[in-house]
Structure 1
Amino acid sequence: MTGQAGPAAFRRDGRRRTAALLVVLLPVLLPALLLLPATGAGAVDTTATAVTRAADAKPVVTLSARQAGKGGGITVKGRGWRPNALLMMLICGRSTPERGVIGGTNSCANADGRAVTTDAKGGFRKKLPVAEPPVPCPCVVHVATVTGERADADAVFVVAGHPTAPLPKEGTGGRLAVLATARLEGDSGILTWFGAPPARRLVLTVGNLGSAPVEDPVFEIGTAHGVFAPQWEERPWRGTIASGRKARIELPVELAAGAHGDYQISLRYGGKVLVEQPWGVGRPWGVTLFWVLLCLVVPAAVFRIGMAVVDKVRPRSSRTPARTPARAGRRRPRPAAATAGRRAPGPATNPPAGSVDDPAATTAALPWFTPDSAPSGNRPTTKGQS
C-alpha cells in the first residue's frame, strides 16, 4: 500500500507545480498571444501592398554597359513587367528616355532586335547585339511589349563610332492629344472572304492642348504585322482645330490583298505615336476553297480530254469488232410455241381445209399432240364441211 501511495502523491505534486507555473507565466504570455494575430495581419497587409506597388510600378530596364561598339554585345535586364509577357528589345537612334523614340521603330535597328519573355515575377535577362541604328544618336535601348497592354521603357546607350545629331525642337504651337479611346469601325464584305483588301476606319477624338490652332493636320497611319516594324502612310485631314477645342477624326485604314492574322494599327502626329489599336483579320477561306476546287476540277478535265483523244486516235477495228459471216448469217430460231398461234397476213377468207393455215393442221403440229391422239371434241371445224 505504501509503494502504491508514493507515485500517486508524486503525480499530485507535479500537477500543483504545473498549475502554479501557469499562473506565474500567464500575465507574460497573454500580451504576446493578443499581439500575434495583429502581427500576422500586418505581414499579410504588407505583402499585399508590396504586390500592388509592384503591379503599379513602371517597368525598368538596366544595361550591363552604357557604351559599346558595333559587333559587341550587352546584357539587358528588366523588372516590373507583366508576368509571361513577350517583349521586343531594339537599339534606337534619335531618342531619349524623356521624349521617347522620335520617328517610331523606323529609327531603330530592327534587323538586330531580340525578343524575350518575362518570367512569373515580371523580370527578364537577355543578351542584345550592338548594331548601328539608321539615324544618328542620342540612342537608347528600347524595350516594349509586343502583345497585350502597351508598356515600354528606355535606357540610355551610346553606340561607339556612330554619328550624333541634336534632337528636333518641339513645336510651340498647336499640340494634339487623344481624348477618347480610338476604335476601328466598319466590317468586311463577301469579297474580303475571297482575298479582297480588308478596310476599316480609325475613329478617335483629339483635342488641341497648344496655344495655336492646328490647320489641316497630316497624320501618319502605320500597319505592323506581328513583331515587324510598322509601314507608315500619310493621311491628311481637312479642317482646323482651335486651341482648347476638340474634333472627331476618321481616317481610312486598308491592308494588302489577302492579308490575315494579327495587325497593329498606329496613329502618329508630329513624330509622336498617339494611338495603337490591335486588329485581328480572319483568313480568306474563299481563296482556299477556290484552290481546292481547282485541284479537283483541273485533273478531272485533263483526264476527260485525254480519254477523248485516245478514243479518236485508236484504230476503228479495235473500237468496233467486225461481224463474222457465220455469226451474221446465223439466226436464232423462234420457239414453235411462240409461232403456233400466229397467222400470216392475208385476205380475211377462210383457208382451205388441209392448208398450212388450217387450224387443224396447226393443232396437229403441236409437239404434245399427235393426229391420232388429239381429242375430237376440241378439233375445230371449218365452214362448208358436213
Structure 2
Amino acid sequence: MTGKARALRLSAVAVAVVLALFVVPFPGRAAAAAGGPVVTLSASQGGAGGAVTVEGSGWRSHTLLMVLVCGRATPSRGVIGGTNSCANGDGRAVTTDARGRFSRRLPVAEPPVPCPCVVHVATVTGAGAQADAVLRVAGHPVAPLPADQSGGRLAILSDTRLTGSSGPLTWFGAPPSRTLVFTVGNTGPGVIKDPVFQVGSAHGVFAPQWDDRQWHGTLAPGGRAEVSLPVELSAGAHGDYTVSLKYDGKVLAEQPWGVGRPWGVTLFWILLCLVVPAALFRIGMAVVDRVRPRRPGGSRGGGRRLSRPAALRLPLSRSRTPAPPPPTHAALPWFTPDSVPGDPAGRLSAPHTDSPSSPTTPTPKGPT
C-alpha cells in the first residue's frame, strides 16, 4: 500500500469518527432535546464536607439558576416541602451561557429532612424550569416519602389572578394583602382531600419565601373547584413581586404583583424632620431666656429696649382742651403803673410810653 492510499484511508476514518460524534447522541443530549433541562453529577454519592460538580444543559441562555441539595425528593415527584427541605445555606448560584449550559462546584451538605436526596436546580427569574439529579448523602438518615394523595393529581384549569385591595393603612406601611384565586381539577384516578398548597412571594432576583396554605375540600376524580388562598407581604413592602403557587413540589402558576410605595411613611418622616428641630429650637430659646441675667431695671438681658417706631405711634388728639394759663396776681391800686398821682384810685390816665427818647415835661405851677 502506497503512502498516498494510506493517507486517504486515515482521512476517511477521521471523518467517520467525527460524523459518529455528531450523529449518535449522548444520553444527556438526547434528554435535553426530548423535553427540557437536564442535570448531571460528577458523582452519585458524597459525604458531608465533600463536593460534586453539577453540569446542566437544555436551559435558557443567560439565565440565573440556584443549585441546592434537598431531601424528601425524587426526580419524579420533585422536592416535597419546597426549599424548606433543602440545605439553603450551602446552595450556589450559576448563570447559563449562550448555549444554555453551565458547570458549578457544589458542596455536599445534609438537608434538614431525611433522604432520598437530590441536587435541585431551578430558575430564579423568568419562566419557571427545574430539574433534579439523585444524590446519596453518606451518613444522612433515609425515610419513605409520604403517600401521593391516593393517586389523585391536581392541575390548574384556569389562569390565576389576584383579587381584593389593601386598606388605607397600607399607605402608612401596613402589610399588603391579596387573595390568589384559581380553578383546579383532579385528573387522577384517586380522591384528593384537603390538599396543602404552598404560596410564595419573591422580590427581584431573590428566591420565593414559601408558606403552607391548606384548602379544605374534596376533589373526586374528574372534579373541579375554585380555590382562594390569602397572600400577604411584609410590612412596608413595595415594588414588583411575583406570587408563585406550588403543590407537591411542583410550581403550578406564577402571578406578577406590583405594590405601590407607602407614601404615608415618607410624609411622616418629612413632618418629623420639620417638627423636631422646631420644638428643640423653642425649648432652647426658653432655656436661654430663663438662665440669662436680669437687668437692674427689672427686665432680663443687658440689651437696650428698642423704642417704638415713629410710624407706630398714635397721633395726639386735636380735640384736647388746652391747659388754662397760670393765674396772675392783681396789683394794688397804688402800685399800678397806669395810675396818675392825684387822680382817684383806680382811674386810669391816658396811655403813654416810657420811651427815654420822649421824656415827659413837667407842667409849671402858676401863681396862686
TM category, shorter: 0.5 to 0.7
What's the secondary structure of 1:61's corresponding residue? strand
Which of 29, 39, 42 is equivalent to 1:64? 42
> Are positions 1:251 and 2:229 aligned together?
yes
> Are positions 1:77 and 2:58 aligned together?
no
What's the secondary structure of 2:264's corresponding residue? helix
Cα RMSD between the aligned structures?
3.1
Query: How far off is 1:278 after superposition?
Result: 3.9
> Are positions 1:230 and 2:209 aligned together?
yes
The aligned residue for residue 116 of structure 1 is 94
Which of 66, 83, 95 is equivalent to 1:88? 66
Alignment of 1:137-286 (within 5 A): 137-225=115-203, 226-228=205-207, 230-237=209-216, 239-269=217-247, 272-286=250-264
Against the structure 1 CA distance between its residues 229 and 249, is the aligned structure 2 distance closer, same or farther, given a 3 Å change threshold?
A: closer
Query: How far off is 1:103 after superposition?
Result: 1.7
What's the secondary structure of 2:150's corresponding residue? coil
The aligned residue for residue 44 of structure 1 is none
1:112 and 1:129 in contact (8 A); partners too: yes
Against the structure 1 CA distance between its residues 171 and 322, is the aligned structure 2 distance closer, same or farther, given a 3 Å change threshold?
A: closer
TM-score normalised per structure 1: 0.64
Q: Distance in 2 between matches of 1:148 and 1:156?
A: 25
Q: Distance in 2 between matches of 1:84 and 1:144?
A: 14
The aligned residue for residue 300 of structure 2 is 319
2:38 and 2:56 in contact (8 A); partners too: yes
Q: Distance in 2 between matches of 1:294 and 1:346?
A: 63
Amino acid at match of 2:56: G
Query: How far off is 1:67 after superposition?
Result: 1.6
Larger radius of gyration: 2
Q: Which moved more, 1:180-189 or 1:138-147?
A: 180-189
1:221-243 Cα distance to aligned partner (Å, 9 max, x none): 33445534523233434x44333
Against the structure 1 CA distance between its residues 161 and 319, is the aligned structure 2 distance closer, same or farther, given a 3 Å change threshold?
A: same
Q: Distance in 2 between matches of 1:346 and 1:93?
A: 114
Unaligned runs of 5+ in 2: 1-30, 306-318, 325-368
Amino acid at match of 1:230: Q
Against the structure 1 CA distance between its residues 218 and 155, is the aligned structure 2 distance closer, same or farther, given a 3 Å change threshold?
A: closer
Q: Distance in 2 between matches of 1:295 and 1:100?
A: 52
Against the structure 1 CA distance between its residues 132 and 280, is the aligned structure 2 distance closer, same or farther, given a 3 Å change threshold?
A: farther
Aligned pair count? 278
1:191-235 Cα distance to aligned partner (Å, 9 max, x none): 222201101110101112234554554444334455345232334
What's the secondary structure of 1:172's corresponding residue? helix
Against the structure 1 CA distance between its residues 280 and 61, is the aligned structure 2 distance closer, same or farther, given a 3 Å change threshold?
A: farther
What's the secondary structure of 1:200's corresponding residue? strand
Q: Distance in 1 between matches of 2:207 and 2:64?
A: 14
1:46-86 Cα distance to aligned partner (Å, 9 max, x none): xxxxxxx9888511112222222111112212222111111
Query: How far off is 1:273 after superposition?
Result: 4.4
1:176 and 1:208 in contact (8 A); partners too: yes
1:110 and 1:229 in contact (8 A); partners too: no
TM-score normalised per structure 2: 0.66
What's the secondary structure of 2:275's corresponding residue? helix
Against the structure 1 CA distance between its residues 271 and 98, is the aligned structure 2 distance closer, same or farther, given a 3 Å change threshold?
A: closer
The aligned residue for residue 271 of structure 2 is 293
Q: Distance in 2 between matches of 1:160 and 1:343?
A: 116
Unaligned runs of 5+ in 1: 1-52, 325-341, 348-386
> Are positions 1:345 and 2:326 aligned together?
no
Against the structure 1 CA distance between its residues 253 and 141, is the aligned structure 2 distance closer, same or farther, given a 3 Å change threshold?
A: same
Q: Which protein is richer in helix relative to its size?
A: 1
> Are positions 1:100 and 2:78 aligned together?
yes
1:106 and 1:229 in contact (8 A); partners too: no
Q: Distance in 1 between matches of 2:243 and 2:320?
A: 97
What's the secondary structure of 1:304's corresponding residue? helix
2:149 and 2:190 in contact (8 A); partners too: no
2:120 and 2:133 in contact (8 A); partners too: yes
1:96 and 1:138 in contact (8 A); partners too: yes
What's the secondary structure of 2:261's corresponding residue? coil
Query: How far off is 1:297 after superposition?
Result: 1.9
